[in-house]
Amino acid sequence: MYNFIIVDDEDLIRKGTLKKIDKLNLPITCVGEATNGFEAMELLQKNTSHFIITDMDMPLMDGSQLLDNIIRSYPNIKVIIISGFENFSYAQKAIQAKAVSYILKPFSKETLCSALEQILEALHQEEKQLTNPMAETELTLLSHFIIGNITFSKILPQTILSLTDKKLTLATIYFKKTINWNSVTIPYTMLLHPQNDKIAFLLLEEGVSELALPFPSNSYLCGISREFNHPSQLHEAYTQTIAALNKRRFLDEMPLYYYQKDTSSREIIFDNIDEILFFIESGNSQQLKNQLTTLFHGMITSHHMTLNELKKFGLYIIEQTKGMLNNRFNFSTNYTLPIIDKTVQETIFSFNELIEYFLVFLSNIAESMRNEKIYASQDTIENVKKYILKNYDKNIKLDFLSDIFFLNSTYLSTLFKERTGQKYIDFLNSVRIENAKELLKKSERKISHISKAVGYDNPKYFFRVFKKYTGLSPEQYKKQVQSKVNPL
């Protein structure tokens, strides 16, 4: 029997959910009800709970804050989130990498049953691991240590003893398809990845000069560490194997990658990010997919990118997306990014799978943004003005605006002038200067910093534009404002 608590500030919904659960006849018991995150944390302290069911939109401590606290204090507790689509928005998509189950209101008994059965299966598998024979438990603990889930102090003494005073090499094998491990015989100590059935580890003892695996060479990729002589170095060896695998390039056909310390790095300019962010913010998921697919494949071929470089590029887009969403929703939690980073860096070693991961992840966010209808006005010029008002600090060109709003640049320029009485560049400059004036009033930042903050990379050009619009230099304006606030 497994215990759970339910968290929702609406009594009718909470009771209705419990009523649906009672009819499912599952081996679970509700040990507490809470109306907000604070009450939920108190219940978790008082009761042994295997999972929680929670809403996101609650008073005092909402679902996002509750998840943050659970991640820190009860990382092993499973979570089912029940929420309305619009309320769930970005949170629904961003926490997918954490393997949190979610269902959207309104939901059926079947949907709830499916989510609960998924939780029960995960709990059952964890129990099976605890009751395995000692040898398998040793290997399981060692696997968790290898990937950084537990510290070395948790490794059993007999395991440490069996690996001490041996020169070992770690191999991390990524299989392009799921393997039936029951039918595999390998002449090395093999450990299965505890969270990914396409990854395994081999401990190679001294004297193994050539890795012989009973698989076709095109069915797997293998990263091989440097030699080490104590099991406490296994996690470091693991990071070396991951680094080796991530050095793979798109057209590489070899299966084996040996770790080599590389201190050199090159800087790749990431173009078209603002266009990508616009399609996410505007909820245009199809255009986003098209743009990302072209962009990713173009970057791979033009820069001959390594897997690691493509991962950095995709993660950079996600980081910028999160910043955009934070500004919109005041959603400041940061726990999802390290989890996504670990998933991308340590479990995906195919270029096509990596591109698909980023496409799905980012297009899901775009889909959730569709309901926000940020640029849904039938008046294109109003949409253009709204974009400028929100993004005046960026390098906005007329060609860029015409691309994202699908208009000819000459036509857009003419239409903007007809509708507003201003050229687009004059409107942009006026918005920038008004924001610069506010910063000069309220900030002690240097003029060059204010220039950059409102979209001017060249302080001298900012100086000329500011004087054109105000009749004063930025320094004169600041002194004038200060003299009015603090007269002699």
Decide if 451 is inside a domain. Answer: yes
CATH of the domain at 56: 3.40.50.2300
Mean pLDDT calculated for residue range 413-430: 94
Together in a domain, 141 and 124: no
Tell whether 460 is covered by a domain: yes
Chosen domain end from 72, 106, 129: 129
Shared-domain flag, residues 219 and 281 = no
Asked if 356 and 396 sit in the same domain, the reply is no
Last residue of a domain, one of 258, 281, 300: 258
Q: Are residues 198 and 311 in the same domain?
A: no
More confident residue, 13 or 213: 13
Does residue 24 register a pLDDT over 60?
Answer: yes
Q: Please give the residue that has the higher pLDDT: either 105 or 422.
A: 422
395/334 same-domain check: no
**Mean pLDDT of the residues in the chain:** 85
Tell me the C-alpha distance between 107 and 113, whole Å: 10
> CA-CA distance, 370 to 419, in Å (whole number)?
27
**pLDDT, position 88:** 47
User: Rounded to 5 degrees, what angle do the CA atoms 147, 152, 153 make?
Assistant: 145
Answer yes or no: is pLDDT of 182 > 70: no
Average pLDDT rounded to a whole number, residues 372-401: 92
Name the residue with higher pLDDT: 292 or 55.
Answer: 292
More confident residue, 302 or 467: 467
How sure is the predictor about 440, in pLDDT bands with cuts at 50, 70 and 90? very high
On whether both 167 and 252 belong to a single domain, the answer is yes
pTM, two decimals, is: 0.67
Q: Judge if 86 and 38 occupy the same domain.
A: yes
CA 274 to chain centre: 18
| 119-146 per-position pLDDT tens digit | 888 787 666 555 443 356 778 889 999 9
Query: 27, exposed or middle or buried, with CB in 10 Å at 0-12, 13-18, 19+?
Result: exposed
Instruction: Examine the domain organization and report whether 116 and 141 are in the same domain.
Output: no
Q: How confident is the model at residue 47 (pLDDT cuts 50, 70, 90)?
A: confident
Q: In terms of domains, do 121 and 156 share one?
A: no
Residue 266 included in any domain: no
| pLDDT of amino acid 85 | 52
Mark whether 99 and 141 lie in a shared domain.
no
The pLDDT value given to residue 98: 43
- What pLDDT band is residue 317 in, cutting at 50, 70 and 90? very high
Residue 329 lies in a domain: yes
The predicted pLDDT at position 111 comes to 84
Does any domain span residue 263? Answer: no
pLDDT of residue 208: 57
Q: What pLDDT does 133 receive?
A: 39
Distance CA 295, CA 355 (A): 10
Report the candidate in 259, 173, 187 with the shortest Cα–Cα distance to residue 216: 173
* Burial class of residue 206 (count of CB atoms within 10 Å of its CB; 0-12, 13-18, 19+): exposed
Pair 215, 183: CB distance under 8 Å: no
Question: Do 75 and 138 reside in the same domain of the chain?
Answer: no
Q: Range of 227's domain? A: 134-258
Domain membership flag for residue 228: yes
User: Are 202 and 186 contacting, i.e. CB atoms less than 8 angstroms apart?
Assistant: yes
In terms of average pLDDT, the best of 110-124, 194-208, 294-308, 456-470 is 456-470
- Produce one character per residue of 380-395: b if its CB has 16 or more CB atoms within 10 Å, e if not: bbebbbebbebbbeee
Mean pLDDT lowest for which of 138-147, 175-184, 230-239, 292-301? 175-184
The pLDDT tens digits for 233-253 are 999 999 999 999 999 998 888
Provide the number of structural domains found in the chain.
Answer: 4
> For residue 278, is pLDDT > 50?
yes
User: Do 139 and 250 reside in the same domain of the chain?
Assistant: yes
Q: Is residue 264 part of a domain?
A: no
Q: What is the pLDDT of residue 368?
A: 85
**Percent of the chain having pLDDT more than 90?**
46
Task: Pick the range with the lowest mean pLDDT from 131-140, 217-226, 245-254, 295-304.
Answer: 131-140
Q: Which residue has the tokens 């793979």?
A: 248
In this predicted structure, the answer to whether residue 271 has a pLDDT above a threshold of 50 is yes
